[in-house]
Amino acid sequence: MASAIRTERLSLEPLAPETIRLLIQGQRTEAEQTAKHSFPPEFPSQDELTGFLTVQLRRMDESPERRDWMARLMVTHTGEVVGHCGFHGPPELVGRAEIGYTVFERFRRRGFAREAAAALVKWAFDQGEAQVYASVSPNNLASLALVRSLGFIEVGTQEDEVDGLELVFAIEPIEPIGPNEP
């Protein structure tokens, strides 16, 4: 069973495959009951239903023991679902540890994406990953600022079949400097 990642203001709770199946089937009330949370009206969008959630469900079915590496709800300590985040999938399945995040519109500009992204990066490093990636549309100025502020470095570009051109960023753990090192 996947466990939550906790931050100062958030609990990054694994999104269960049962919840995703219910959302895809249009059974929102049942999905909310399964998740034990109410979802904002904008979740899930049609794009999330046909893209993100469908892909995450397939990956959960393929690697149920690796659910820690998949979709999570961003839940405040007061129980509000403010977005979703997680990894694109297990690194061995998708080729790298890559984070993603979405904050629902009415909760934006409060630092939730930054807090969630930083927690995901730390968690991945704690699992032994040598690098963590993020891919961002060149037009998404807020997300570009966020990844850069966390220390991600642009390492290339890719063409996403859904999102088009994306800039690819990577970050490595910062090694502490020992007493005899400059």
Residues 6+ apart with CB under 8 A from 177: none
H/E run at residue 6: strand 5-6
> What are 46's two structure tokens?
């049609």
For residue 174, the model assigns a pLDDT of: 77
End-to-end CA distance of the chain: 44
Crossing angle of the two packed helices 17-24 and 53-62, in degrees rounded to 10: 140
Phi, psi of 24 (to 5 degrees): -65, -35
Specify if 182 maps to a domain.
Answer: no
**Number of domains observed in the structure of the chain:** 1
CB neighbours of residue 102 within 10 Å: 19
Pairwise CA distance, residues 115 & 56, whole Å = 22
Pairwise CA distance, residues 95 & 36, whole Å: 32
Q: For residue 160, list its beta bridge partners.
A: 164
Which structural domain range is residue 167 located in? 5-171
What does pTM read for this prediction? 0.92
Mean pLDDT in runs of 10 for the chain (182 residues)? 92 97 97 96 92 92 94 96 95 94 96 98 96 96 97 95 89 71 52
Alpha-carbon gap, residue 64 to 150, rounded angstroms: 30
9: CATH: 3.40.630.30
Is 178 inside a domain boundary? no
In a domain, 176, yes or no: no
Q: 109 by DSSP, 3-state: which?
A: coil
Determine the Cα–Cα distance for residues 99 and 119; give it in Å rounded to an integer.
Answer: 10
Residue type, 128: G
30 assigned to some structural domain? yes
Residues of the chain with pLDDT > 90: what percent?
Answer: 87
Answer whether residue 177 is part of any domain: no
pLDDT at 14: 96
pLDDT score for 163: 78
